[in-house]
Structure 1
């Protein structure tokens, strides 16, 4: 690509951005740049001063630096490091401590001198913090400033822990954490209530003085905030936008984190496109939403005035394009998610035959099935298909400790009423209560407590599936081993999870599989569970003929829906079906009112689910299609 074309394509971007195919490739490249700096400084007899970040983003960079040290002899003896931040208060040996993080992910594996490591002190007395912060700044200056500063970006737009409202000239200081930042950290602390409300962080002004700044972001979860930081106006509401003022900054992204940038999201605004069915669909839907007009009312002027003149010229007249996209969307709508028997299926998302299909609905957690596709679940059962549901994990981490005691007290009372073994139960109960009373944030529960939590979720899942119309022999509580194993091991094998999934699929031999297609968090349970299903199917497809007729439909969780142009099957729900879905969700009582891990949406799951499906229906209605109460959306996985 010529420099002129590149400048045109990136004209919305207010700072340099490099996009890599994946996180691993980008991380290796960043590590090589750090290594080059270290070696250059060594040759000059100088120290290399690095500003380092924590969290999931830089882990693979550190892993590559360790490899370079152990396999290629890269020495860190001339390296001085300053970490961005630390929670306050925080003991250095706590599981969530950034001291511990840096030791485990970098420092303990290289030859850096301990006296050259600098991390904000989370154990200080409150009255000593201001003096510590001043000396931290002075120490950085004493080394001539930071040569290269690594950054991640939080979903509030924070860099370091500089939350919205931070001043562009701010220095190292004590800050209050944003609620979203604390919710994002809640899994590391065993619940948002355990996340510290304060942190010590380098300021934006401190970061800005670095001779080179590299901000890294991976996966689709960061795409929207990356767009604001790169293309948005300068604003203290998004502190990362202040990096636009630096002549020494570069954003390093993987493809998913770059998805919302104009050159990838709406490329027709910046360059001539290679139009295909996907980009045409996306562009026409975008134009209709941009102008708040039904698709069939879009005009040639609308196309010409919004970067789509090329499309109008190549594929026009535009009314024909409008009809084509309208019909395409119309054909995604079906009241028969298992296929309509004895019907022409050439324009339908699912096959007519066989009329009664065998279906497996995989649910990563014990409530994802009814939250995300409860209406379709009920519809499939009502229409006579052989529906199975498989709960992939126990979900035991998402049960309140109080519920464990309440269920144990019920069992003790029941046993006493029948004079059956209450003393043994009471002894176990007392041990549980003692543990819970002194439990540390995110401390792993003993087996007895994990078992009770698992049984609570299992009972709720069975109740929800029964309500949807399933008999007990079609309800499978897999309790895949990786879920609990991950609490004790960093490197987890998924082989037994894959084999267990293969055995279930071989037992049912489904025509349809429904699975959670949430990929925004590549390390999350949904992504792991989906990968297990796909690997199981890939292996089975090599030998089992029934797999060639098995379709895999992806649904989304309660937070984000597929974009309208992505949807391949939309199942409309009546008001009565919306209510039935709500009642199925209510069976999961341990997740009602306030779940342990609410994410970035404080609403109850049933409220989120209804709002999401209503938004999908509204999007179709605004494009000029039929108006429905709600819609559940699906995308077909291509093997």
Structure 2
């Protein structure tokens, strides 16, 4: 029998339960109330409705709202609802969710509370949270700035003539000065400012409590489960404070701050878990989207209270609730069980349970017992459904896994493969070992299509170094080796020579030759972007002046600042060079590599939605030319990884829809891949590809040779502290261990194909027909076409 907590007074939450046919808590597994919606945009809509419902009842209350990418749709929906409150369609939506449409909320009576801030950082920087809340909340929502509690590091403790840089220098804040004596005058200033920051935090906490605490809290959940910046291990009674973060949090913040070299030195000012829960009536909502969040969401919702699970501090709050998407809910025990109960005849669901039972029991699928299967939540129901066919189903799962490996060994031939990637390293991280098996079959043709320029993943330090290499190449190389000619064919010839000579440098271990070719490409790009009137054949002074100006920009611009469009283009073009180097390793010239630079990718914190004219039609034109039989795509239906992956997938899907409508070609197959952000379950894959130690080494070597901008791992995954190629290798090995467990080491070692015997990694891919692929994607709004 289901046990459910008494529902709160929220009409929106009750409407959600009714609309989706769910309870808000399934005990005993779930320790916090949870509501699940279908996708990321829907999550923003229902959260906005819940917020405005609360404001109607608390017009002078205090609210704390999140920063970063997570609240994108919440912000857009809240603004939309407030701006269109009187329209019939909005009134109808409000009534559907039980909100009184005659009482339009006013937010100017509310007290806004900033949740957290990096430290030290200037409040005027566009990547500070102080800037964020002013830009996206205070004015757009109609808050009264005079009633806002804000954290602006420029206004905390600095004396006349002091700046954050002059006090803290390049090394950042030394918290040991809280407990030790300063060694010199500089440390005395730091100790005094540190004390001022601590006093600010205490005062900030007092001001929040004077308001009665926070009435409405909305937050995301970090990769380690952090709420605010209360990382794993935070005291549930913690208050506002200046503190350090952990690696996962630093990695997640690297994109905002310009690299982990910067985020690793930043401390944070954050309200505490005790601050959030101080008001026992607080409506504390946590939002999460995508399968990548599923493991941490499960931990947060199903764990007993403890400091290792920050969200468990919310358990005493009757109005606390997780609002999450179906992907984020994927690992929740009871909800997964109910999903299975509704699809209990699906062999894939049987396979998932049996595989999980085998992995949990450290046995092969063929040997997992009924008793071991019954230990899983859905195990007894599966056994009931299977009856005497348990052994038959077990064997079927084993045979399906073996068939997937057989398919992974069968190399495609006679295919026209249209490879797509959101970023320049996605193809190699997603399926390069598989591709290497058949890439040189002359019966196949390949087109590598990079859909964004990826400039956000290039640091200013990296660019400053390229300025120096370009200046050196300017002295040693003739203009003909880099000159941008303005003729597409001639320019491609110059660029192709640069790639080939770079590869010669790698082969000869000639670092100077490699650096020279990068410098020459840099000169070519700088002239293309900045130098229409240089006249370089006569005078190189304008070239040197432009390089000097660029180096000054790269050395003086604060990390994480949005670049001007020409700088974005220059950074992105260097990532494009890296992709050309990658395929040059494998014998593919520039004619096989296409850089689309889709327009939705602009470096804004909220990436625009793809548009048909701007983003889909260029892809459609490429499909018309290539006439592919296979299209590859980073398969991210819910935005689990970077949102660029999700939006690129929508653009590819729309282009394929239109291509099929034009041509009637319904035979195209789609290969879905995942890389370092999240993974396929063994049951949901269609191809399991053996990967040898040599192939793993080649993956890493190619990555390190080609993707110099990523070599230092300035923007790493929170799951691994190092280059993406090493994480990709780790995932391949983990999947090998799973397959070895499921099928048995003997089966692999005795396999007739030496590729299986040599395998120490396995790569997972899915293969879909167009209808299946379209069913996993959202159609773009026709109104934007």
Gaps of 5+ in 1: 341-354
Shift in Å at residue 488 of structure 1? 9.8
TM-score w.r.t. the length of structure 2 is 0.73
**Cα 1:613/1:419, change in 2 over 3 Å:** closer
Partner of 2:174: none
Q: Is the 8 A contact 1:275 1:311 kept in 2?
A: no
Please say if residues 81 and 117 of structure 1, whose CA atoms lie closer than 8 Å, have aligned partners that are also in contact. yes
Q: Which residue of 2 aligns with 1:286?
A: 356
Q: From the superposition, tell whether residues 8 and 174 of structure 1 become closer, same or farther in structure 2 (CA, over 3 Å).
A: closer
Distance 1:242 1:299, change over 3 A: same
Q: Equivalences for 1:160-559 in 2 at 5 Å?
A: 160-195=228-263, 197-210=266-279, 211-212=281-282, 213-265=284-336, 274-306=344-376, 307-315=378-386, 316-334=388-406, 355-384=413-442, 385-417=444-476, 420=479, 421=536, 422-446=540-564, 449-483=567-601, 485-487=602-604, 491=608, 493-494=610-611, 495-518=613-636, 519-521=638-640, 524-546=643-665, 548-559=666-677
Q: Is the 8 A contact 2:421 2:450 kept in 1?
A: yes
Q: In the alignment, which residue of structure 1 is the partner of 2:74?
A: 61
Structure-2 change in CA distance of 1:292 and 1:435 (3 Å): same
1:84 matched to 2:115? The reply is: yes
For residues 597 and 227 of structure 1, what CA distance do their matches in structure 2 show?
A: 26
**Residue among 12, 19, 24 paired with 2:29:** 12
CA–CA separation in structure 1 for the residues paired with 2:109 and 2:566: 50
Name the structure 2 match of 1:346: none
The DSSP-based 3-state class of the residue aligned with 2:68 is coil
- Cα distance, 1:447 vs. partner? 5.6
Give the conservation status (yes or no) of the 8 Å contact 1:220–1:256. yes
SS of 1:424's partner is: helix
1:131 partnered with 2:262: no
3-state SS of paired residue (1:441): coil
Tell me if structure 1 keeps the 8 A contact 2:25–2:34: no
Q: Deviations over 1:367-394 (max 9, x none)?
A: 2222221112222223331122222223
Q: CA deviation at 1:403?
A: 3.8
- Once structures 1 and 2 are overlaid, which stretch shifts more, 318-327 or 526-535? 526-535
TM-superposed CA distance for 1:540, in Å, is 0.8
Q: For 1:557 and 1:252, locate their aligned partners in 2 and report how far apart those are by CA, in whole Å.
A: 27
TM-score (norm 1): 0.89
Q: Could you tell me how far apart the structure 1 residues matched to 2:247 and 2:286 are?
A: 23
* Residue-pair matches, total: 618
Q: Is the 8 A contact 2:420 2:449 kept in 1?
A: yes
Instruction: Mark the CA change 1:464 to 1:137 in structure 2 (over 3 Å): closer, same or farther.
Output: closer
Alpha-carbon separation, structure 1, partners of 2:606 and 2:742? 49
Query: How far apart, in 1, do the equivalents of 2:710 and 2:229 lie?
Result: 31
User: What SS does the corresponding residue of 1:83 show, helix, strand or coil?
Assistant: coil
The CA deviation at 1:75 is: 1.4
| Inter-CA distance 39–241: structure 2 relative to 1 (3 Å threshold) | closer
Structure-2 change in CA distance of 1:183 and 1:580 (3 Å)? closer
Q: Give the direction of change, closer, same or farther, for the CA distance of 1:592–1:334 in structure 2 (3 Å limit).
A: farther
CA-CA distance at 1:511 after TM superposition: 0.8
In 1, Cα distance between equivalents of 2:639 and 2:735: 19
Retained in 1: the 8 A contact 2:620–2:659? yes
Residues 457, 588 of structure 1: 8 Å contact kept: no
Q: Does 1:566 align with 2:597?
A: no
Partner of 1:543, secondary structure, is helix
Larger mean CA deviation between 274-283 and 533-542 belongs to 274-283
- Are the aligned partners of 1:285 and 1:623 in contact in 2 as well (CA < 8 Å)? yes
Give CA deviations for 1:559-606 in whole Å, capped at 9, x if unaligned: 433111111111223444444434432331414541331221212233
How far apart are residue 98 of structure 1 and its match? 2.3
SS at match of 2:143: coil
Quick one: distance in 2 between partners of 1:157 and 1:617?
Answer: 28
2:257, 2:560 within 8 Å by CA — same for their partners in 1?
Answer: yes
Equivalent-residue separation in structure 1 for 2:82 and 2:65 (angstroms): 17
CA RMSD of aligned residues (A): 2.9
| Distance of aligned partners of 1:520 and 1:260 in 2 relative to their CA distance in 1, 3 Å threshold | farther
Q: Quick check: 2:24–2:34 contact (8 Å CA) kept in 1?
A: no
